[in-house]
Chain A
Amino acid sequence: ETGVTQSPTHLIKTRGQQVTLRCSSQSGHNTVSWYQQALGQGPQFIFQYYREEENGRGNFPPRFSGLQFPNYSSELNVNALELDDSALYLCASSPGLAGGPGSYNEQFFGPGTRLTVL
């Protein structure tokens, strides 16, 4: 069983640019969530996708957007990059209700993409 994978591993951009991060969910998982982890802090929820629809959003501006594809992989897009966007971006997949009542909200994380904005 393949776990959650993310690409690229590292990325350096300059302020004002746009970036796309990618995530492949674990086999059998239909839900993908994205988190931002700034240095020295806990991850913060950006948004969640379920069956290609946004299913909840955290306190992030609209320049953070996403997509989920029919195979449940996902993209995170960030426009007009700011210095404060420098962080580790984590993708997590979960089985949703398909995992049963005890596991519907258990999330499995990828290794993350380290974004540096200069």
Chain B
Amino acid sequence: AQSVTQLDSHVSVSEGTPVLLRCNYSSSYSPSLFWYVQHPNKGLQLLLKYTSAATLVKGINGFEAEFKKSETSFHLTKPSAHMSDAAEYFCVVSDGKVKAAGNKLTFGGGTRVLVKP
């Protein structure tokens, strides 16, 4: 079984300051981990993914995340927030067991990011 816990339901930052979104996961197998972003009334966009290569993963728009197996964490960071970063962010786990077609994604509850000018 797999699960994801996003430790903060809301995060508020000032423009130009760092952003940290925390995520802990549980998985029976070596997991694949993702961060998706959802802007209001929009679909989900993939920010970055970890699939057992480098533990520090760089994504789009300056975001990066570090996979820490010992802590079962996959926190998302960005050095300097921009107004356009205001959105809902989802940490997602998929177990690494290869199946014929793919694996279901298990989403965390989401973290809503507010960026203040």
Residue contact B102 to A104, C-beta cutoff 8 Å: yes
CA distance A108 to B105 in the complex (A): 11
Residue contact A105 to B107, C-beta cutoff 8 Å: no
CA distance A92 to B4 in the complex (A): 19
Known: A42-B90, A106-B49, A111-B42. A55 touches B100 (CB 8 A): yes
Whether a CB of chain B sits under 8 angstroms from the CB of A97 is yes
| Interface residues in B31-86 (C-beta closer than 8 Å to A) | 32, 34, 36, 42-46, 49, 51, 53
**Closest residue on chain B to residue A33 by CB atoms:** B104
**Closest residue on chain B to residue A114 by CB atoms:** B41
Q: Mark B80-117, 1 if CB is under 8 A from A, else 0.
A: 00000000001000100011111111111110000000
Count of B interface residues, CB-CB < 8 Å: 27
CA distance A44 to B46 in the complex (A): 17
Known: A41-B109, A42-B107. A105 touches B102 (CB 8 A): yes
Query: What is A's interface to B at a CB cutoff of 8 Å?
Result: 4, 30-31, 33, 35, 40-45, 48, 50-51, 55-56, 58, 90, 92, 94, 96-97, 101-112
Residues in B whose Cβ lies below 8 Å from that of A105? 32, 51, 94, 102-103, 105
**18 A–B contacts, CB within 8 A, in A order:** A4-B43, A33-B102, A35-B105, A40-B110, A42-B107, A44-B107, A45-B106, A50-B101, A50-B102, A55-B102, A90-B43, A92-B44, A96-B101, A101-B98, A105-B105, A107-B102, A109-B45, A111-B43
**Secondary structure at chain B's binding surface: helix, strand, loop or mixed?**
loop
Known: A31-B101, A50-B101, A96-B100. A106 touches B110 (CB 8 A): no
Of the listed residues B4, B99, B106, the one surrounded by the most CB atoms of chain A closer than 10 A to its CB is: B99
Residue contact A41 to B105, C-beta cutoff 8 Å: no
Of the listed residues A44, A92, A104, the one surrounded by the most CB atoms of chain B closer than 10 A to its CB is: A104
Of the listed residues B105, B106, B107, the one surrounded by the most CB atoms of chain A closer than 10 A to its CB is: B105
| Chain A nearest Cβ from B26, distance in angstroms | 15
Given contacts A43-B44, A111-B42, 13 further A-B contacts (CB under 8 A): A30-B101, A42-B107, A45-B104, A51-B101, A94-B101, A94-B102, A104-B102, A105-B32, A105-B102, A107-B105, A109-B43, A109-B45, A111-B43
